[in-house]
Structure 1
Amino acid sequence: MSNAKQILKNILRTASGLPGVYQLYRLPSLHAAPVHINDARRRLEAISPRPPQRTNAPSFKYEADPNIEISIILPCYNVEDYVGDCIRSILAQKTSHTFEIIAVNDGSTDGTLSVLRSLAKDDSRIVIIDQHNKGPAGARNTGVDNMRGQYLLFVDSDDALAPEYLEHMMHALRNGDCDYVSSSYTYVDEDGKPMFREYPRTLDTAWGRLFPRTIWQRLRFPEGYLFEDMLQAFCITPRYRELAIKDFGYLYRYRSSSISHALNVKSIDTYWIVEELLHDCRKARVPFDQRLYDTTIHHLGQLMYWRTRNFPPEQQQILFSVCCDLLGSIPEFSRMRTTLTGCEKDVERSLRTGNYRLWKASCLFLNLQTL
């Protein structure tokens, strides 16, 4: 990121946080006419259809192997330039704990599979699974299905681990009053050079977290969607106790070509996956309580707006109308009010009243504050 861009971001972030700035900005939106589109869902499907729902129940193919403590799952797609460094960083761990690396080649069209096979020849801890392309969720699910370890760690195949990362994570999980452990992380550039550290972590991602196998007994990522990592916020965070540790040994590579930076109509998955995950929560008997309500408000607001910010206004209004309908359709949420503060209270207000202009104003400021 250039210095000029960083300076501009700092200016915008500072200005958006000044007392009174947001209050003035929101004034014209407070009494805007509500937006409601009767056939919004049908029109949203016409722009980008909802992926098919899962039909098969999750299951492990193997019993836990007492000789394997950690299964490290690497979804691999066209990462021939990075996956070698990633795997070597795992093999170089200074740890007393046993592990396997499950590298899932997800239909790569470059030399990824060749790199994996070359590394696996020299180390039996590397397990390669070659499959047709199923996307990041499908690759991770394949890894979970085939794990034999007692614990599970996801690592993206263009990232890397510092030498004592596994040791620190296992020590924290076994000695902490928690169900799973989340680490901090260090941003590195495409050449692997450190950029800055992130603490506390702000990304609801699967990587950089150590889970016991039991958490994933009945849990898998929704396949066919972008933003599959939202599973963490909806299905794991509300149910299990997290211990966040200040360890920066997960090296997260920032790539400008990453799917997370793409904006197109498929970004509507940011809505469809909320529907899917709330459905999964219902099946798993996750309590529809204050915590889940606040999570839903956050995802129907700040994240929904940011991921669709370049959409034409008419498409974004359709999306907003569907969000309003979804929030109003959940009986448990009808009497709740968010415990979130600041602009997020206006996000809630906008979703309750159909005030599209207020939704845009509040979401814009929320994103400026987190630049």
Structure 2
Amino acid sequence: MTLLVTGSAGFIGSCFVRQHFEHSDEPVVSLDALTYAGHLSTLGNVLQNPNHTFVHASIGDVDQVRAILETHTPRAILNFAAESHVDRSILGPSAFIETNVVGTYRLLECAREFWNKLQGTEKAGFRFLHVSTDEVYGTLAAGDAPFSETNRYEPNSPYSASKAASDHLVRAWHHTYGMPVLTTNCSNNYGPYHFPEKLIPLCIMNALAGKPLPVYGDGQQIRDWLFVEDHTRGIRSVLENGAIGETYNIGGWNEKANLDVVNLICKLLDELRPRADGVSYATQIAFVTDRPGHDRRYAIDARKIERELGWKPAETFETGIRKTVQWYLANQAWVAEVTAGR
């Protein structure tokens, strides 16, 4: 019994792998292209685990993926691999199309070829789990109900459009070929080992460096925040007990405006690592020109996964953000390592 985890050196994929080995000795083969946001250091002690095998390759490398499947015969493929930063997708959408759309297609085809060769219980038990985002659903007005699994897709950025396309491919491979797929759509993740280009780690590190804390527009864009370890627990639940062909939304029930998030980070830093001059980090907040086509609000209705699989988040935003700030304060060397030269 083995798992193949793609995107394993990224933020969410590495958390899944680390958490997996806290609960199981089942072997994991992890695959990552090690682009700018993928770093082996995110896997921590897992790299020394004899039940872990790392392969440096992209999900679009058909020969490498086929070799892994033939050699290790995994019972499941978990696809975390993705380009995921909206700003980068606006500046350069081609990488997002190549990884998120073409890469997912090639991975699906390798998986289908492999699955078709399996027999009996191995074939019946095989799963392809695709990890996606709430951004495929578009944006919500202030009074709208949170996104459910039945919301129509209305992606508004090159990133979310590429993820929407990958979701549709996964769905089509199930309905056309019978592939035993599962899809999860999550809200905004945060927590340890997050590459510091995203809002929370960027603000923590900029604050400590005495730099401005950039806030888009009026800062009232609302996001539902999900602690990454809660997210990966949810993925484990879907993998083991989810119904084939189904989609499960995984959210934190923590809607916060971006400006409120930044202010809370400043408050925690004022407490845990106060500035030498005694001034609040909040004085470093700087409003910047809004992102083109910036979605106003995301929110996830996570009742289906709680009702059917018994999962719900363990962390509130207040407990999770404190753990996150404390981790970055204790691991500034990791940030320096992964951002060196960029």
Q: TM-score range by the shorter chain?
A: under 0.3
The TM-score normalised by the length of structure 2 is 0.26
Larger Rg: 1
The TM-score normalised by the length of structure 1 is 0.25
Q: Which has the higher contact order (CA 8 A, sep 6+)?
A: 1
